[in-house]
Structure 1
Amino acid sequence: MMEPLFSDPMDGQRSLNDRLAAACSFTALRTCFPILTWLPRYNLTWLRMDVLAGLTVGLTAVPQGLAYAEVAGLPVQYGLYSAFMGGFVYCVFGTSKDVTLGPTAIMSLLCSYYIERDPVYAVLLTLLCGIIQTAMAFLRLGFLLDFISYPVIKGFTCAAAVTIGFGQVKNILGLKGVPRQFVLQVYYTFHRIPEARVGDVILGVSCLFFLMMVTMMKSTLRSLEDSPSSLVQAARGIVWNFATIRNALVVIAATCVAYSTEVIDYHIFTLTGKTAKGLPPFSPPSFSETTANGTHVSFNEILLDLGGGLAVIPLMGVLESIAIAKAFGSQNNYRINANQEFFAIGLTNILGSFVSAYPVTGSFGRTAVNSQTGVCTPAGGIFTGLVVLLSLAFLMPLFSYIPKASLAAVIICAVAPTFDFRVVRQIWRVRKLDVLPFLVTFLVSFWEVQYGIVAGVAVSGLMLLYVVSRPKLKMSDHGVAVVELASGLHFPAIEHLSGVLRSHALHVSPPRSAVLDCHHVSSIDYTVVNELKDLLKQFKLHDVSLVFTGLKPSVLEVLLAAELPGFIHKDSMEAGLQTLSNSPHSD
């Protein structure tokens, strides 16, 4: 029966309605708005734990935000401008209960290479990063992160830890005008040690010593007895809370000391200096600027100046955050949605650009504090955001008295755990060749951090391509040459395979037949088919045969469709050998 030429328009309408209904279903809404998965079950117990965790993380976020703004080369208030939006956005769109978004040491370091200490550049970069990350979420480009291998990530984080940590030594010493490039920074820091300010050195070293001691005290809590008395348990809780807010305690104490010396007009510390008062205005970022000397910088010129930062910073932002989310998801027995995380980070950066934030990502340190404090839902980020907002509203005048040496101590202790060179021994034990991308990334990052990432990815890619182009082949002799492919077959490998078959079957005297065992081959492409066609012609010219065995149905279908001359296939190697033994060309 002939079908009607035109279908009923109501059918299309019903189909459209069905698709709209599916898109608007509660399951779809929960995918877009993960808050709907936990909000209906929210209770007072969760609220109490979220408030406690949020306030604790907030006391960590404020001093770290101030410190990381220094790393980015921006006035300290920009660290706080960047620290509150993530809590509100991630609460609605995030899929991890533990992750906290905000400024981080690595992101701040990367930004410093592109924004040229210019807040206009920083805020516009935030908007562009957010747009790129959101587009990546809609296009489902999360697979791009799979091309950044673990050795590259570890090489980058270790180098970043050294770069960031040593970059703060000048503030411990109270030095100014030290170059940013790492090699020059090392040289001029040691060269100018005689110019160090005694007050800054004493304060910085004291802050470092205090932070290290408290961190060591916290780490020993895990090794204590498992069933302590109530008194010991209470003492443990005090030490743990004391250690958790150690950054805030150090900054507060150092600020009080500095303020007391300033009141008596005794200037012995290098201070943060004048800071903007109050909350940032909610307004779109500027797409151009006029410099102090009257030069107008257009949007296109800013884009050219940002250059590779528009690729490196969005990618590293989502990579750092998703790696953290996966780690804590595995630890606490839940799964995250990578593309939804892309969207949450991207939207945070887009909205953050309206409050003068610079690019943010997930923070490992604050996420660990969040998890250890017992956060139950992403709502903890709301209370972290409120702590930051209250600090901006009421404490900004006091922040001008914060000594830079104390912030330097906070940064050094924050990045120290990310320098873990023991990973080299672990990589070496598993696969020695993987040490190469680690070392390349680590060493090149001291020239420029972003180039280190690119170099590491390039080396990893070349290693991967070499493996693809040189698949393992198992050779054996059964009166005829037998070649077994130990892995898949794609176009970079076909020349190698063709050369092996020619050397073991055609370029011997006399030429002999061959069996190609393909039971590991799951797909082939046109280049492979074309080379096999030439190879079969060469076997025919030498009056011998090439038999394919173990072909999967999908591969066999492609080879049959190609109509290869002299194509012979058998289900098993034994059948292939039997075919050749009965062939007049087998001798």
Structure 2
Amino acid sequence: MTLTRYLPILDWGRRYDREAFASDAVAALIVTIMLIPQSLAYAMLAGLPPEAGIYASIAPILLYAVFGTSRALAVGPVAVVSLLTAAAVGQVAEAGTAGYAVAALTLAFLSGAFLLALGLFRLGFIANFLSHPVIAGFITASGILIAASQLKHILGIPASGDTLFEMAYELGRGLDRVNLPTLVIGVTATAFLFWVRRGLKPLLRRAGLGPKAADYATKAGPVAAVVATTLAVWALGLDSAGVGIVGTVPQGLPPLTLPGFSPDLISQLLLPAILISVIGFVESISVAQTLAAKRRQRIDPDQELIGLGAANLGAAFTGGYPVTGGFARSVVNYDAGAATPAAGAFTAAGLMVAALALTPLVHYLPNATLAATIIVAVTSLVDFSILSRTWTYARADFLAVAATILLTLALGVEAGVSAGVLLSIALHLYKTSKPHVAEVGRIAGTEHFRNILRHEVETDPSVVFLRPDESLYFVNARFLEDMVLARIADAPALRHVVLVCSAVNDVDFSALESLEALNARLREAGIGLHLAEVKGPVMDRLQGSHLPGDLNGRVFLTQNAAWSCLVEGGAVNEGRGGWRIARAS
């Protein structure tokens, strides 16, 4: 059982049959055709040689097929992780140098080791510290930065910069050096790829092609752009006219490589590796769970961490760079009928063939076409509707999203993702620091209690029922204490305060001390402090403290029992373990 948990291939592999093989083979063919230009493009985005993109798509896919739990997730280079890689590695080495490649390998190694450790210790919940609105804001800003970073290849001018303003400034300075043939190729390829996305499938359907065939042809659209522009550059000799091309790509299987292990390099890349790991895992697990739900399959987040960790370690030792599950290719893999992770293994085999036999064919592939591929791919990442939706629903979330977008665009991706993590945590702390606390009363003729501001209820001037709708911990403990004291200040007839704990899932030590202080203050004022509807695990924790014995009141099983006892004068029965559990007579 344990071995199957860590090696999911032993589970689905036992049931693998001819039908699954046929489905996986078709899906692998479609994904391979799509992945070849994407891999080259994303390697360029990461500042690495084009072959690094193919290398990063072979061993990682094979390892994920062994350790991953998703039947449709396609692992490899993705736009956001490629951008984060360029930002991180660019801080420690210059692009095009051996040190840059070693730093990229080290980044993949650190990312893989971190993900693997999280999975083995079942710490996948750490990814929950990034809220969805903040992630959406970061990805939107990253999409804009990625598209802006590729404009230099479309225009054929040298430009640099890590922020949107730096990129815009550099592009503006170089407009007088625009290479016309490059511009024509870049604009034409971009326009064609956008048209393929929206217009090719309806055109093929009108021509009588079946829906599946039309869909597959649409997915292969980028390959047509690659072939056409490569032939144009080769036939017209446009490389001599200043058109940037991919050039010579080494022919062969991924080499065995070693990341750098110098303490200085590791210390510089450790934090970026953690950020890349968390961002990549959040993107990957959301895609995997979405696709699994459509087929009523189960995803194990902790095992996914192990699978992605193994994939990144594989990239580190085979000439790649950090990888994760990609949205676009995973959806294509799913739609093409991938039945098991073996589809990924077949995709890796297809990429091996490409690395061995097809790399000479991309010598004249213009960089402008790869840039167009990236620009069209990342447009799906840009979603400004998150701003309007959060503005309408929760202004705090809106501020977090807007701040993440602005900081990412203005300061770069590392600052943006760091701000995203801090904003997610700060947003949670802010929301829970002032929890909603409802004063409740009894609906006449029933045993139900509701908020006195929302319902017609019975109350008594000598008793107040307060229901904190949040767990009690160090951030909000003082808030509850101050609120109770403020409530009793203007109520001279008040004799009892009942804290209804139905929504309290935990009470930490700070909150316990706050409750003890509140109990002492109320005792001095001649007011009893009572608890009602305390959950079992919370009660177990409280029983290990002094609060039960010192409580200036009772613990009631239900709100209605507290009402019966304190308002109507009902009987009280002693509970187990020293708790005085009051019940209605």
Say whether the fold is shared (TM-score over 0.5): yes
Letter in 2 for 1:110: L
Distance 1:306 1:540, change over 3 A: closer
Matched, 1:53 2:27: yes
Letter in 2 for 1:347: A
For 1:282-293, list aligned pairs within 5 A. Answer: 282-287=256-261
Q: After TM superposition, what 4+ stretches of structure 1 lie above 6 angstroms from structure 2?
A: none
What secondary structure sits across from 1:308 in the alignment? helix
Of 471, 483, 488, which aligns to 1:500? 483
Aligned equivalent of 1:543: 526
Cα offsets for 1:41-85 (capped at 9, x unmatched): 222222222111111111111111111111101111111111111
Shift of 1:115: 1.2
What secondary structure sits across from 1:359 in the alignment? coil
How far apart, in 2, do the equivalents of 1:39 and 1:111 lie?
Answer: 34
What secondary structure sits across from 1:407 in the alignment? helix
Shift of 1:139: 0.7
Matched, 1:232 2:208: yes
Q: Judge which range, 101-110 or 264-273, deviates more.
A: 264-273
Of 402, 410, 415, which aligns to 2:373? 410
Shift of 1:571: 4.1
Number of aligned residue pairs: give it. 537
Cα offsets for 1:464-487 (capped at 9, x unmatched): 223322222223662225142141
How far apart, in 2, do the equivalents of 1:88 and 1:550 lie?
Answer: 52
Cα offsets for 1:291-324 (capped at 9, x unmatched): xxxxxxxx12212332421211122222221111
Shift of 1:259: 1.4
Aligned equivalent of 1:243: 218
Of 113, 116, 128, which aligns to 1:146? 128
Q: Judge which range, 61-70 or 430-439, deviates more.
A: 430-439
**Contact 2:20–2:339 (CA under 8 A) maintained in structure 1:** yes
Letter in 1 for 2:434: R
**Contact 2:153–2:367 (CA under 8 A) maintained in structure 1:** yes
For 1:450-529, list aligned pairs within 5 A. Answer: 450-475=414-439, 478-491=460-473, 492-505=475-488, 507-508=489-490, 510=492, 512-520=494-502, 521-529=504-512
Of 158, 170, 174, which aligns to 2:152? 170
**Contact 2:43–2:82 (CA under 8 A) maintained in structure 1:** yes
Distance 1:392 1:559, change over 3 A: closer
How far apart, in 2, do the equivalents of 1:572 and 1:387 lie?
Answer: 64
Shift of 1:341: 1.1
Matched, 1:41 2:27: no
Of 316, 324, 328, which aligns to 1:365? 328
What secondary structure sits across from 2:531 in the alignment? strand
Letter in 2 for 1:549: A
TM normalised by structure 1 equals 0.85
Q: Judge which range, 246-255 or 389-398, deviates more.
A: 389-398
**Contact 1:515–1:577 (CA under 8 A) maintained in structure 2:** no
Matched, 1:179 2:165: no
**Contact 1:511–1:544 (CA under 8 A) maintained in structure 2:** no
Shift of 1:198: 0.3
What secondary structure sits across from 1:74 in the alignment? coil
**Contact 1:152–1:456 (CA under 8 A) maintained in structure 2:** yes
**Contact 2:257–2:317 (CA under 8 A) maintained in structure 1:** yes
Aligned equivalent of 1:104: 78
How far apart, in 2, do the equivalents of 1:270 and 1:557 lie?
Answer: 69
Matched, 1:567 2:530: no
How far apart, in 1, do the equivalents of 2:530 and 2:231 lie?
Answer: 84
What secondary structure sits across from 2:438 in the alignment? strand
Aligned equivalent of 2:197: 215
Aligned equivalent of 1:530: 513
Letter in 1 for 2:69: T
How far apart, in 1, do the equivalents of 2:25 and 2:290 lie?
Answer: 23
**Contact 2:140–2:382 (CA under 8 A) maintained in structure 1:** yes
What secondary structure sits across from 2:268 in the alignment? helix
Matched, 1:63 2:27: no
**Contact 2:500–2:559 (CA under 8 A) maintained in structure 1:** no
Aligned equivalent of 1:260: 235
What secondary structure sits across from 1:168 in the alignment? helix
Aligned-residue CA RMSD (Å): 2.5
Aligned equivalent of 2:357: 394
What secondary structure sits across from 1:484 in the alignment? strand
Letter in 1 for 2:499: D
Matched, 1:306 2:272: no
**Contact 1:86–1:381 (CA under 8 A) maintained in structure 2:** no
Aligned equivalent of 2:107: 125
How far apart, in 1, do the equivalents of 2:425 and 2:239 lie?
Answer: 60
Shift of 1:378: 1.2
How far apart, in 1, do the equivalents of 2:284 and 2:38 lie?
Answer: 17
What secondary structure sits across from 1:546 in the alignment? strand
What secondary structure sits across from 2:476 in the alignment? helix
Distance 1:93 1:559, change over 3 A: closer
Matched, 1:194 2:176: yes
What secondary structure sits across from 2:340 in the alignment? coil
Shift of 1:572: 4.6
How far apart, in 2, do the equivalents of 1:436 and 1:330 lie?
Answer: 31
Letter in 2 for 1:260: A
Shift of 1:163: 0.6
Letter in 2 for 1:207: A
Unaligned stretches of 5+ residues in structure 1: 1-26, 288-298
How far apart, in 1, do the equivalents of 2:538 and 2:496 lie?
Answer: 19
Matched, 1:347 2:310: yes
Aligned equivalent of 1:83: 57
Shift of 1:554: 5.0
**Contact 2:108–2:312 (CA under 8 A) maintained in structure 1:** yes
How far apart, in 1, do the equivalents of 2:533 and 2:349 lie?
Answer: 64
How far apart, in 1, do the equivalents of 2:4 and 2:561 lie?
Answer: 55
Distance 1:489 1:396, change over 3 A: closer
How far apart, in 2, do the equivalents of 1:122 and 1:142 lie?
Answer: 24
Shift of 1:87: 2.4
Report sequence identity in percent.
28
Q: Judge which range, 342-351 or 186-195, deviates more.
A: 186-195
Distance 1:266 1:501, change over 3 A: closer
How far apart, in 2, do the equivalents of 1:528 and 1:136 lie?
Answer: 29
Shift of 1:126: 1.2
Shift of 1:179: 2.8
Shift of 1:564: 1.1
**Contact 1:481–1:504 (CA under 8 A) maintained in structure 2:** no
Letter in 2 for 1:313: I
